[in-house]
Amino acid sequence: MSDLPRKAVTRTARLAALPLGIAGRATLGLGKRIGGRSAEVVTAELQQATADQLFKVLGELKGGAMKFGQALSVFEAALPEEVAGPYRAALTKLQDAAPPMPAATVHAVLSQRLGADWRKRFVAFEERPSAAASIGQVHRAVWHDGRRVAVKVQYPGAGDALLSDLGQLSRVAWLLGPLIPGLDVKPLIAELRARVAEELDYALEAEAQRRHAEEFADDPDIRVPGVVAQADQVLITEWMDGVPLAEVIARGSREERDRAGQLLARFLFAGPARTGLLHADPHPGNFRLLKDDGPAEGWRLGVMDFGTVDRLPGGLPAPIGDSLRMALAGDAAGVLEMLREEGFVKPSIELDPDAVLDYLLPIIEPATVETFHFTRSWMRAQAARIADPRSPAYDLGKQLNLPPSYLLIHRVTLSTIGVLCQLGAQAPFRAEMLEWLPGFAEEVAPAE
């Protein structure tokens, strides 16, 4: 691949081929079943082939296609287990890798943005990228003062590719929706489109990362690499070693997964409270478990990629904590009133307060106990309950509204829960909410 594919006709053709390929396999599968093969075997083959095609195309195109794949990957834990297997490996591939940009293209970008003598800024620069993501790739290097650094280089034409991909994906969203029960794919794609401009602006990313690095500079649990230098389409930050969270999910010990999960939850709540910013891209590729030779309690969580953030000057909105506290206290009327005030229930909609509380209580179960065990089966149960047309939760959920100011918070929270379930993490998550979530700690009901 000589460069990120930018011609709309080429990229559109690849994405448009997805539904044709899926339909063709479905027809082939029907033929196999008529020929006597079991439905279970044929279905498993179709799922594997569909996953391979879908994520191969998304990964090769990079841009918005891969960005969507990364966003979708954190919801993998919601898939029924018999479906999840074929998709899991393909989804994971999107989180840390994509075909690299040629060295000549990287050199051209660095020369244009850092100057023709850009190599003099480095003691060493590795030509082969250490990671490739949706809009750029990262190279290891040694800065002129001896610091090990990560050099993030944006793909030429990434902006056009992002918008083109997401526009095309919105037209085939109906195909992708069934991958994750209970997830409406179209709003997810629309929200990703709205964040494209920010993520392409490395100056904004550098500002957000600096704020986090300064706030967590002496923190014993969270580490954010400092910003070394920034230019248009180039961002240079301190290098950070560690075990990728995807590896912890796949092969980590119980104490590693529990510790990673606890710190991930802590960062979700403490980050906005301490910086006024919400890290809005919580897929496993953006986190590392920084280990030492001491006990698990000494391990830290490394956080990267601040291209997408939600600006929350007062931290997470207090109504989240208030409504959570009232729900745990059984105040159904208070919860419904709060939801109306915040725009989750439109004025014309009439709802039974007790039905609303019954809808919420299973979802907020992690806040009811001192220690909660996030599992794939728990997340699948929540997704199935909301997606099943026979369930009362299905009808009630269709009547709820998601205000624009909560869109990103909602996605980040769901994504983080998805990663916690992938980890199978068991830890005192309620304590993190009590410490960092505004409004929750005021006269909150005791844990079970």
Which residues in 405-417 are b (16+ Cβ under 10 Å) and which e? ebbbbebbbbbbb
Neighbours of 148 (CB within 10 A): 14
| Spatial CA neighbour of 203 closest among 152, 140, 262, 267 | 152
H/E element holding 237?
Answer: strand 234-238
> What is the pLDDT, as a whole number, of residue 8?
47
| Spatial CA neighbour of 164 closest among 198, 191, 196 | 196
| Distance between CA atoms of residues 116 and 218, nearest Å | 37
> What is the pLDDT, as a whole number, of residue 1?
39
H/E element holding 52?
Answer: helix 39-61
H/E element holding 289?
Answer: strand 287-290
What is the widest separation between alpha-carbon atoms in the chain?
Answer: 69
Q: Where are the domains of the chain?
A: 8-96+164-181, 103-158+197-238, 318-436
Q: What is the pLDDT along the chain (448 residues), one digit of tens a residue?
A: 344 444 444 555 554 554 444 444 333 333 333 444 444 444 445 555 655 555 555 555 555 555 565 555 555 555 555 555 555 555 555 544 456 788 999 999 999 999 999 999 999 999 999 987 667 889 999 999 999 999 999 988 777 766 666 666 666 555 555 444 445 566 666 766 666 677 788 999 999 999 999 999 999 999 999 999 999 899 999 999 999 999 999 999 999 999 999 999 999 999 999 999 999 988 888 999 998 766 667 899 999 999 889 999 989 999 999 999 999 999 999 999 999 999 999 898 999 999 999 999 988 999 999 999 999 889 888 887 887 778 888 888 888 887 878 888 988 898 899 899 999 999 899 999 999 999 997 655 566 6
> What is the pLDDT, as a whole number, of residue 374?
96
Question: In terms of DSSP bridges, do strands 300-303 and 222-223 run parallel, antiparallel, or are they unpaired?
Answer: parallel
Phi and psi at residue 76, in whole multiples of 5°?
Answer: -55, -30
CATH 3.30.200.20 for domain 103-158+197-238, yes or no, is yes
| Distance between CA atoms of residues 96 and 33, nearest Å | 37
H/E element holding 334?
Answer: helix 332-342
Write out the DSSP string of 105-171: HHHHHHHHHH-TTGGGGEEEE-SS-SEE-SSEEEEEEEETTS-EEEEEEEPTTHHHHHHHHHHHHHH
